[in-house]
Amino acid sequence: MKIGIGLSREKDAAKAAAEAVRQAGKTVAAPDLALVFGSIHYDQKKLHAALCREIDPAILIGGSSYAEITNAGAAKGSVAVLLLEEKALKPAFAGISDKTDPCAVGPALAKKLARKPRPAGIQSLGLLLHFTALSSGHENELLRTLSEKLGGMPLFGGLSCGNYDLGINNPKVWINYQYCGPTLTRQGARLAVLDFPKSGFSLSFGFEHGWQPVGPAVKVTRADANRIYEVDGLPVFDYYRQFLGEEHKGNFFEQLVQRYGFSLPAQGGYPKSRLKLPVECNFEKNYIAYFPAENLQGRDVRLIQASRRGLVQGAKDAALKCLESLEGCPPALVLVVSCCTRNAILHSRMDSEVRAIQSVFGENVPVFGWYSGGEIVPFLSRYEEVIDGSRQLSGSHYHASTVGILAVGCKTSVKAAFPRRKDGDGGPAENARLRELLAKSEEILDSTEGFLANLSRKSCRDGERLRRQHEIIHRYTPHNVWRKIGDNVARGEFELADAEVNDCFMFLDVKGFTAYSEEHSSGEVVQVLNGIFAPVTGVIYECGGDVDKFIGDCIFASFKKPADALTAGKRILALMEELKSGGNPFTARIGINGGRAIRANVGAKDRQEYTYIGDAVNLAQRLESNCSPGRLLVSEEIFKEAGVEFARVERREITVKNRKRPVTACECSLL
């Protein structure tokens, strides 16, 4: 196999195209495939015409780019050409000039192929190189229909790119070009089918994004397909301004918002989330559109942020997965597709992504690619997994702001030539470029500082709101349940496990309250009831107990020790006498029992209680219902174990429903 890569930074489009082709042609005189990416800043008609003069247009594929990738690094304002010679590949090409209907593109391209590809994975490793126009964001529909027509063969490629620096709301940013063989298109698609013989080649893929979450999970509460209007009930622009600040408007907001997209949860155990990148800010209709396009109504999403360090690490991780999946076959060629957004964020360090990939594959492996308007690459890395339709996330997918890598491993000899990186002084033009980058870096730094300040303020507000929310929930939750939840969350556990306990249980019922409720208003009833429950609850907590729940005019509480339970009961009887002397007409009945019970999750998924269940609990309630008003009835065993003295103790035999034998209990009073 022969590989030739050419790169030209000539200002004239025709000269740049000719120079790049001739550089590559020194190694590859009779190419079977010509893959070309030309800067969007060139006159595309002149560039394409020159390419067609220098090489056979029938083997030409590629398009306009935001930046070009070779072994020399990432460059803007250049033409990059890859010529490949390998007769065994038997490439076949197809192209269309209009891809307005994504679902119609696959059948149209498949129909135009001069020959049908071999079934993937039988005698050959079939591969589809696919390059298409940046348009509606529905490329996944295109890939699905294309894959169906061509037997599940992996696709690698992406969307040609316009002048991303103009801003996402500038109509000219959507102008991009495809090199569809002899035809230059603006809404076209071009396909190349390659059959790599299994005996001599290996193919693998790498995919990563490197974005990090910076906010909690939120819900898209109003959307029209991929256009989001509201997030968690907030207008989407207000949601972003929590972080970006109120002062950012118009073009600057559009540029800044692309550093903060959304992620959707991963699927089928795949560890990485799927990105949704803002591509349109409509201030008149108050929505932000996201690519790749799909219906986002009601979806759970998280705000994510791109950092240069994260993007570079993502590229390296993708390369590592890709190299590992070659399973020892020497890499002969590495194709890279990355997003124009990533390049803009990397800014003065745009070469870092290429360097990270080269650090994995080595400086002597040809690297070729471009910064695109969208990436087409499989989620999975091993060729066999990609073509296995039974696997979750098999096949190829359209992404935004990711990096995709295709590695071609070759078991035979490879002849390759490519430009190498030249470090050093680039003269006045380079100095001017660096000054421009520095000025833009200051702007980015200012915006990042503003974001961090806004995020800090929002964190403080959210923290205070969360603290108050916790205080409220704490009042409505058994305290030992609250503490257990806190301990579990600290350990990374988010469920309460059922547990066996050996505790004491108290039921307290306010007598005379039903009749009082019939004769008084609801407000009066609540006021009087709280006048009893508040001090009683205080006694329970002071004695080491916990109120599990309030049941109408009844309290259910638990204690770890019998002595604590009876001490609390004794104090509550005294408290009720004090309240009675102050005009409170009510008395209380208290039942106490101890023993084994289960603390279990009871209810449904959407509403649960963590409560006690067991015979010991039931008996405590039965004792309360058999107790005389103003007294405490406790099982004899617990009374003896507690050792708490009362003024009067009467031993009783209680007949309890569903028990064969009477229960021996002690009825205690203060008089």
Residue pLDDT, tens place only, 508-553 = 999 887 788 888 888 888 888 899 999 999 999 999 999 999 998 8
pLDDT at position 45, please?
Answer: 98
Give CA–CA dist 216/535, Å, rounded. Answer: 40
The SS3 of residue 299 is coil
pLDDT: is 435 or 395 the higher one? 395
Task: Tell me the mean pLDDT in the region 52-71.
Answer: 97
pLDDT at position 583, please?
Answer: 80
Note whether residue 487 is domain-resident. Answer: no
Q: Do 439 and 466 reside in the same domain of the chain?
A: yes
Note whether residue 90 is domain-resident. Answer: yes
Q: Do 436 and 578 reside in the same domain of the chain?
A: no
Q: What is the DSSP letter of 605?
A: T
Among 58, 61, 57, 153, smallest CA distance to 106 is for: 153
Domain boundary among 380, 404, 422: 422
Task: Tell me the mean pLDDT in the region 477-503.
Answer: 85
Among 516, 583, 514, 504, smallest CA distance to 548 is for: 504
Q: Quick check: 444 pLDDT over 70? A: no
* Confidence label for 363 from pLDDT (cuts 50, 70 and 90): very high
Note whether residue 180 is domain-resident. Answer: yes
**Tokens linked to 439:** 């000025």
The SS3 of residue 219 is strand
Rg (CA), the chain: 36
Give CA–CA dist 114/102, Å, rounded. Answer: 22
Are 646 and 669 a contacting pair, CB within 8 Å?
yes
* Confidence label for 347 from pLDDT (cuts 50, 70 and 90): confident
Q: What is the pLDDT of residues 268-279, one digit of tens each?
A: 555 567 889 888
pLDDT at position 346, please?
Answer: 86
Note whether residue 483 is domain-resident. Answer: no
**Long-range contact set of residues 6-11: C-beta below 8 Å, sequence gap at least 24:** 6/79, 6/80, 6/81, 6/83, 6/419, 7/68, 7/70, 7/72, 7/75, 7/78, 7/79, 7/80, 7/81, 7/419, 8/78, 8/79, 9/75, 9/77, 9/78, 10/79
Q: Do 588 and 515 reside in the same domain of the chain?
A: yes
Are 353 and 311 a contacting pair, CB within 8 Å?
yes
Give CA–CA dist 621/619, Å, rounded. Answer: 5
Residue with tokens 């022969």: 2
Q: Do 154 and 185 reside in the same domain of the chain?
A: yes
* Confidence label for 425 from pLDDT (cuts 50, 70 and 90): very low
* Confidence label for 585 from pLDDT (cuts 50, 70 and 90): confident
Are 405 and 336 a contacting pair, CB within 8 Å?
yes
Q: Do 391 and 497 reside in the same domain of the chain?
A: no
Q: Do 229 and 160 reside in the same domain of the chain?
A: no
Task: Tell me the mean pLDDT in the region 245-253.
Answer: 58
Among 276, 582, 521, smallest CA distance to 400 is for: 276
Q: What is the CATH number of the domain that holds 649?
A: 3.30.70.1230
Q: How many residues does the chain have?
A: 671
Q: Do 364 and 466 reside in the same domain of the chain?
A: no
Note whether residue 482 is domain-resident. Answer: no
Note whether residue 472 is domain-resident. Answer: yes
Q: Quick check: 369 pLDDT over 70? A: yes
Among 276, 348, 291, 352, smallest CA distance to 319 is for: 352
Q: Quick check: 138 pLDDT over 90? A: no
Note whether residue 597 is domain-resident. Answer: yes
Q: Do 392 and 261 reside in the same domain of the chain?
A: no
Distances (CA, A) of 476 to 105, 158, 424, 487, 507: 59, 54, 68, 18, 18
Q: Please report the DSSP string for 275-289 in residue order.
A: EEEEEEEETTTTEEE
Q: Do 237 and 327 reside in the same domain of the chain?
A: no
Among 646, 650, 665, smallest CA distance to 571 is for: 646
Are 356 and 403 a contacting pair, CB within 8 Å?
no
**Percentage of the residues of the chain whose pLDDT score is greater than 70:** 89
Identify the domain containing residue 450 by its residue range: 424-476
Domain boundary among 422, 443, 467: 422
Q: Do 301 and 359 reside in the same domain of the chain?
A: no
Tell me the sheet residues that pair with 17: none
Q: Do 433 and 290 reside in the same domain of the chain?
A: no
Domain boundary among 276, 305, 334: 305
Spell out a b/e string for 245-256, using b for 16 or more CB atoms within 10 Å of the CB, else e: beebeeeebbbb
pLDDT at position 543, please?
Answer: 96
Q: Quick check: 225 pLDDT over 90? A: yes
Burial class (CB in 10 A: 0-12, 13-18, 19+), 448: middle
pLDDT at position 429, please?
Answer: 63
Give CA–CA dist 201/408, Å, rounded. Answer: 7
Give CA–CA dist 131/65, Å, rounded. Answer: 11
Note whether residue 136 is domain-resident. Answer: yes
Spell out a b/e string for 66-80, using b for 16 or more CB atoms within 10 Å of the CB, else e: bbbbbbbbbbbbbbb
Q: Quick check: 489 pLDDT over 50? A: yes
Q: What is the pLDDT of residues 390-408, one digit of tens each?
A: 888 888 999 988 999 999 9
Of the listed ranges 117-121, 244-248, 488-492, 557-561, the one predicted with least confidence: 117-121
Q: Do 312 and 300 reside in the same domain of the chain?
A: no
Among 146, 271, 263, smallest CA distance to 216 is for: 263
Query: How many domains does the chain divide into?
Result: 4
